[in-house]
Structure 1
């Protein structure tokens, strides 16, 4: 299938998703979750050609299952960036109007979209917010954080990172922004305000301390 995917993308599976049972000893809650909502999130982990490393969400926060799936099970792919665009258009929203009025994370997402509008950025919601926007399932709670993916293929100046970070503070919910580089991800808060000359980057090979997330070989 040759899907071009990235961590945090959401994938809808076709009716053959039960094929994964043959390769994984899956808990019963995973089967129930996929039966009800056959969506998974792409995770940062190695996978063989034709396979995708994904995670399954359960109803409770602690219920998370990592597995790999064949790419032919995917019928739809939704990126955080696409979710942002659809969320800004009331005519294309996948969830009820009442959720937008009552869920703080959704209200903060709209507020952040206004704050960051003047920047040339590629970003969108992930985590519980992204999952609810993609599937229409009510996964958010009143205390849910807002997880954001910020895709940066080229260097993001720390001074700009500081400006972006400032606009995520003092909001009704905690906003967690991950900067995705071609090599991995770093927290916006760490890149904007590094405690040392190195920051922690999540990579396919595991966590790595780097001085430049866009050129990690210079560490």
Structure 2
């Protein structure tokens, strides 16, 4: 688990609130949100730079329609887990009840090759949420969502390995690449010859090179 004193929450991180009622009291919450349940259920950090000094987060319910975005103060966080924490801890190995799900089978199959390839990666989406808490939001048709952190352009060997793992995994694998300027879909880059839609803190931008912000076009 990342130290809150040394780490600023990043998109896809999971955070737990010290006092959900106090942290979210400014918002008109949807009826499906249970404040008592949020003591044990994480929120997902998202991309949105409209409020300086606050952290954009998303609440999720039981269905895709149950999503709610808001902001919290950094002091409201009592615990933080990153996607990389879940990967490093091999969190799926202590949840045998999930082992038969295709997304978890895919995770177990590709974790060691990713590490051996020197790739900085983590588990996000429904799989990450499920592995981080007691709520299972995975089902037989769930994708496996991963994040790869890359401060510089990925070398050809990494691109080849990621592409092969996507192709051969026993579930659909959606890999997002996180650059210092935002995140993009690896599959989109491989299919499109380079140009991608970069998700930034200030909205999506079409980029020829996601590691160079100047060429980006809104």
State the TM-score, normalizing by the size of structure 1: 0.88
**Which of 103, 106, 121 in structure 2 is aligned with 1:105?**
103
Paired position in structure 1 for 2:16: 12
Let me know the Cα RMSD of the aligned residues: 2.1
Paired position in structure 2 for 1:60: 63
**Which of 198, 201, 206 in structure 1 is aligned with 2:195?**
198
**Which of 204, 207, 211 in structure 2 is aligned with 1:210?**
207
**Structure 1 position 150, deviation (Å):** 0.6
State the TM-score, normalizing by the size of structure 2: 0.88
**Which of 149, 162, 165 in structure 2 is aligned with 1:164?**
162
Asked if residue 76 in structure 1 is aligned to residue 79 in structure 2, the reply is yes
In structure 1, the residue corresponding to 2:128 is in which secondary structure?
helix
Paired position in structure 1 for 2:176: 178
Distance 1:71 1:199 in 2: 31
In structure 2, the residue corresponding to 1:218 is in which secondary structure?
coil
Q: Go from structure 1 to structure 2 and tell me whether the alpha carbon gap of 1:32 and 1:131 turns closer, same or farther (over 3 Å shift).
A: same
Alignment of 1:116-155 (within 5 A): 116-155=114-153
**Structure 1 position 117, deviation (Å):** 3.1
**Structure 1 position 98, deviation (Å):** 2.2
Distance 1:114 1:213 in 2: 27
Structure 2 residues without counterparts, runs of 5 or longer: none
**Structure 1 position 159, deviation (Å):** 6.1
In structure 2, the residue corresponding to 1:139 is in which secondary structure?
coil
Distance 1:169 1:33 in 2: 41
**Which of 176, 184, 187 in structure 1 is aligned with 2:185?**
187
In structure 2, the residue corresponding to 1:19 is in which secondary structure?
helix
Q: Any conservation in 1 of the 2:109–2:169 contact (CA below 8 Å)?
A: no
**Structure 1 position 47, deviation (Å):** 4.7
Deviations 1:102-160 (A, max 9, x none): 21111100111133232111111101100111113211111111000111111113563
Distance 1:114 1:7 in 2: 24
Q: Go from structure 1 to structure 2 and tell me whether the alpha carbon gap of 1:68 and 1:34 turns closer, same or farther (over 3 Å shift).
A: farther
Q: Go from structure 1 to structure 2 and tell me whether the alpha carbon gap of 1:32 and 1:153 turns closer, same or farther (over 3 Å shift).
A: same
